[in-house]
Amino acid sequence: MSGKAPEIATFAAGCFWGVEHIFLKHYPIAQNKGIIKTSVGYTGGKDDAKNPDYRTVCTGATDHAEALRIEFDPKVVSYGDLVEFFYRTHDPTTVNRQGNDTGTQYRSAIFYHSSEQLEVAKRVTDEVQKKHFDPIGKKIATQVVAAGPWWDAEEYHQEYLHKNPTGYQCPTHRLNW
């Protein structure tokens, strides 16, 4: 990629409301900090689980993750910076869980869109592991997998916590360092 066109980053870190909210809080679109557009949705599930809805994903039957899709300007914010921020804002050491939310839909995952993103994701994961988790004896459990089909979540989920400021927020969605 030349770095001129917008790129896509896709992350799963628990409840997609909280993931989107914290990214937009620290990278507000109006302030031109690199994020151009976000959407919450479903990805990483079974091949035959096409166009799933929230209720079905919550059963765990589809194996989809609740995820955030970010369109960003790599001239303003690097993919590596977004990956590092992703790690700062949730607990990547738990499998299929964030706080009280449990199930495959709440797993920690980076869905990469190019070989370059894969390399960056692996490098940043190693750096974060050494700096922040080795000292406390924990291991990052985040999956780093190729991005597959994406389905936008229902409209009421999009920017949910901006529309509903008193809505449920997973306590793990905060800056951890």
Cβ contact 19:169 at 8 Å: no
In tens, the pLDDT along 49-98 reads 999 999 999 999 999 999 999 999 999 999 999 999 999 999 999 999 99
pTM of the model: 0.95
Q: Is residue 27 part of a domain?
A: yes
Q: Is residue 171 part of a domain?
A: no
Q: Is residue 101 part of a domain?
A: yes
Does residue 1 carry a pLDDT above 50?
no
Q: How far apart are CA 75 and CA 55, in angstroms?
A: 38
**Across-strand partners of 139?**
none
Nearest to 171 by CA among 90, 84, 107: 90
Tokens describing residue 51: 């166009």
Q: Is residue 2 part of a domain?
A: no
Express as a percent the part of the chain with pLDDT over 70: 98
Nearest to 10 by CA among 90, 50, 65, 77: 65
The residue-averaged pLDDT of 138-153 equals 98
170 is catalytic: no
Does residue 43 carry a pLDDT above 80?
yes
R_g of the chain computed on alpha carbons: 15
CATH of the domain at 75: 3.30.1060.10
Could you tell me the residue range of the domain that residue 85 belongs to? 7-163
pLDDT for 165 equals 86
Does residue 120 carry a pLDDT above 90?
yes
Q: Is residue 40 part of a domain?
A: yes
Q: Is residue 1 part of a domain?
A: no
Q: Is residue 33 part of a domain?
A: yes
Catalytic residue selected from 9, 13, 15, 121:
15
Q: Is residue 131 part of a domain?
A: yes
> How many structural domains does the chain have?
1
Task: Specify the DSSP element, H or E, that contains 166.
Answer: none
Q: How far apart are CA 108 and CA 97, in angstroms?
A: 8
